[in-house]
Amino acid sequence: MKPMSLSILVILVLHAWLPAQAHTSFRFNKFNASTLYQIGNPSIRSGAICLTNQSQHMSTRALYNQPVRMTDPNSSFSTTFVFAIVPFSSDPSRSGQGMAFIITPSKSPVGHSSTQFLGLFNSTSIGNPSNHLFAVEFDTILNEEYLDINDNHVGVDLNDLKSVKAEPAGYKIGKQLHPIDLNSGRNIQAWIDYDHTQYQLNVTIVEAGSIRPKEPLISIKITNLSNIFEEEMYVGFSAATGTVVEDHCVLAWSFSTNGSAPELDLSHLPSLIRRKHSNSRFIAEIATTLVLVLLLLVAAAVFWWKRNKYRDDIEEWEMEYWPHRFSYKDLHIATKGFRDEQILGCGGFGRVYKGVLPANGLEVAVKSIFKESNEALKEFIAEISSLGRLQHRNLVQIRGYCRRGAKLFIVYDYMPNGSLDKMIFDKTQSVLAWAQRYRILKDVGTGLLYLHEGWEKMVVHRDIKSSNVLLDSELNGKLGDFGLARLYEHTGNLQTTHVVGTLGYIAPELVYTGKAGPSVDVFSFGILMLEVACGRRPVDPSLDAFQIVMVEWVRELYAKGRLTDAADPNLGGEYVEDEMEKVLKLGLLCCNSRPEARPAIRQILKIIEGDASFPSLDPYEMSVMSSSSYPSIDVSFASTSKSLDGR
């Protein structure tokens, strides 16, 4: 053997017997098959070492192929690496276990490792001090048995899967944590540094290519790490493939036991996000085409919707009523899209919304009504358009209408103080004083006189009740809701109509004849006067039998000479006795079952004003119908629960 060859042989033999080098430092910007010591079946893909695959169930490790001296002169170390956990499935419930950076005295797993526990232990070796295992786990499952904080965290493990310190995966700027999804498939860079002199361990992660954060994700003092480390240790990575549906790959790595780990060159690192199939280009083209078609369909639908959203269906017969017609767009804007918070009230007719007209800022109430047939629409719009020309200070002004399909919208002036019934019957409201009640009755009577005698046609309201008396900002009474009103010539014959109204306010003859004349309104006005004076509903089944029907009860009190006993007790006796008696007597007179015995509204107003004497009134000649004496016929009753202002 030549001398030179013998020298080389001696050097090689000595090297094999020498302990691990005092300081270790290396850097891999890419990997090849001979770079690392591999256990299991890791694969090299695009210069990255991938610990797991779908086909095999085992524990895998990729370790630096030389042992590292960790206890002489100290156990300080620094490492940085880029890794990616690439899911094979988009189903988060099929997530794998994650991976770990490890420092271990043995190349092989501790004991016979199962295909779980990140490839670090088996079920019997977990927590054993003889393991001498240090690990930083990048875990993507929640295992409550080992006190995991969530299914996306970083933890420091010492001989155990119960981390001594764990944090949700992310990076910190100040006190703010910015989450990182470990299972996203994106390249993530990690730094792990341990200073033996300060016993300080820091772990930091961020998306690869970003600047390293100044504040670590995990910062913990570990005083017993020298007890974990043996003289020679192996450093590397571990994962398990029991039910894995992910790739766990390391793309670059550097390590040092003497100062900071060498910097990595990240400029040529591959992206491993979801491996492409051979027909991926075709699939991508099909997907792109479908997306474009879908976008075109959506754009067409949006265009059609915007074009038709505010479209008004105006038929030729409506043109004669045009001055009173609102556009649907204006009402939609006024009511903020007919939102629920704009609802003032609901009833059998539909809903009433508060609105503000965009053209002039006028506050209005918009009432929705449904009409079944086109003929009913024509008749209704003709009536509403005519009634829209009514002008009187004691009538709620009808501003106009809008039609959209079979739905009608009637626009009224908004009354901020609500309806009279709420002022009288709502116990949460302050008591309405008698002077105000008396003035409101005169207001309603004046408005009713205008309907019966003061306009070009006679208007029969047919639905006078306390909930249809609205109060403006100064508590002036205004008669509203002309949805049931009918127009007649002053000298014409009354026509038979479908019986409508509200239980307790309907004149008896209307049930039999179906003909609604001014006396029908007088009867209802009489009920209204008694309501205002007595402070109670026309029919109240909760009272004693002799009090259920208000008119009969007041008539009996009058016959016994105790008429003012009917006065609203909430008034506390604070009323003008002469006025109270006048209103109660007028109420009884107006509720006479014989229409011809009822006074006209003009005469009623004269008596209220004191300009006419009160006619004789014999209570025993005043037969009125009780609630039990209505014939069993089909009667449509309007809702009494809501009014235009919904209060």
How does strand 36-39 pair with strand 232-240? unpaired
For residue 187, give both structure tokens. Answer: 């390249």
371, 394, 365: which is closest to 383 by C-alpha? Answer: 371
Q: DSSP character for 494?
A: P
Tokens 């790490």 sit on residue:
225
The dihedral built from the CA positions of residue 46, 47, 52 and 55, taken in this order, carries a sign that is positive
Contacts of 647 (CB under 8 A, 6+ apart): 344, 345, 418, 419, 422
For residue 140, give both structure tokens. Answer: 């993507």
Could you tell me how far CA 508 lies from the centroid of its own chain? 50
**C-beta pairs of 369-374 under 8 Å, 24+ apart in sequence:** 369/407, 369/408, 369/409, 369/410, 369/483, 370/406, 370/407, 370/408, 371/406, 371/407, 371/408, 372/406
Are 249 and 81 within 8 A, CB to CB?
no
Catalytic residue among 157, 443, 463, 481: 463
DSSP 256-310: ESSSSPPPP--TT----SSPPPTTHHHHHHHHHHHHHHHHHHHHHHHHHHHHHHT
DSSP 426-473: -TTSPPPPHHHHHHHHHHHHHHHHIIIIISSSEEE-----GGGEEE-T
For residue 634, give both structure tokens. Answer: 């089909």
Is 148 an annotated catalytic residue?
Answer: no
Could you tell me how far CA 206 lies from the centroid of its own chain? 35
C-beta neighbour count of 260 within 10 angstroms:
13
The helix (H) or strand (E) run that includes residue 583 is helix 577-590
Report the catalytic residues.
Answer: 463
